[in-house]
Amino acid sequence: MRWPEQIFITEVGPRDGLQNEALPIPVEDKVALIHRLAQTGLRRIEAVSFVHPKAVPQMADAEAVMASLQRVPGVTYIGLVPNVKGAQRALASGVDEIATVVSASPSHNRANLNASIEETLEEMAKVASLAEKAGVPWCGYISTAFGCPYEGPVEASKVIQLAKALRDMGAYAISLGDTIGVAHPRQVYEMVCLFFKEVPGVELRLHFHDTRGAALANVVAAMQAGAIHFDGSVGGLGGCPYAPGASGNVATEDLVAMAEAMGIATGVDLKALVDVSWFAQELVGRELDGKVRRALRPQRA
């Protein structure tokens, strides 16, 4: 077996995590969450998304959140955009990186973006052009890369085809999303191996939801295939408004705890991150799913 010496984590809780919360969260609380996360050693934080307020009301204050941040040196603050309008807003707000998304399944792409995959790729090419002119790097997200809530299994060849298209547009990184948490370790291992073979020259990231409790197992399988970049969401926050039944992402603290126990560096202070997890629970007013946060709580007390 081969293990990496280090993995690199993108914290997506402030965006992917909070977007599905029904109760409005004030700007100052979102900013406080982002700032606390930046103090744990995390160096990449997906802070906001620039989507239409009617589509995702929780992200309607993206500009205000970005304007209120006290940025920590060395931390990359990322904004998700669905289209050119969103990219223009993101660039005007001073994001360090843009993320833009397409689904591997036509039905989810239509539900999520109200467009066909072909139309979305055309829009992404325009976003790529804007980002290039602004000198801002961008990452392409492929949702439902391992399964779709409407269509079921997704062919790996379709995912690879999309990844090649995003790479050719100029994406420096591509994230494969298990949007509804149906992936299993063998599938993940084979997908990662196929990606490295077919899409060289681009950074691969993995985004696992923990709907069926397999997220950490999928991380292990991906590491075995050579992956070192993963998304996590503090406390296991999250879900997708257009993916019925999907739970949150793998909890960042669970990911950090597992990696550190395996002798794999993360650069993240686990105890500080657990504290942030409990703070996140206070913000949303409901019990979060992370496991390590509960295990370490008595120690913190």
Residues with catalytic roles: 240
DSSP state string for the chain: ----SB-EEEE-IIIIIGGG-SS---HHHHHHHHHHHHTTT--EEEEEE---TTT-GGGTTHHHHHHH--PPTT-EEEEEESSHHHHHHHHHHT-SEEEEEEESSHHHHHHHHSS-HHHHHHHHHHHHHHHHHHT--EEEEEETSS-BTTTB---HHHHHHHHHHHHHHT-SEEEEEETTS---HHHHHHHHHHHHHHSTTSEEEEEEB-TTS-HHHHHHHHHHTT--EEEEBGGG----TTSTT---BPBHHHHHHHHHHTT-B----HHHHHHHHHHHHHHHTS----SHHHHHHHHH-
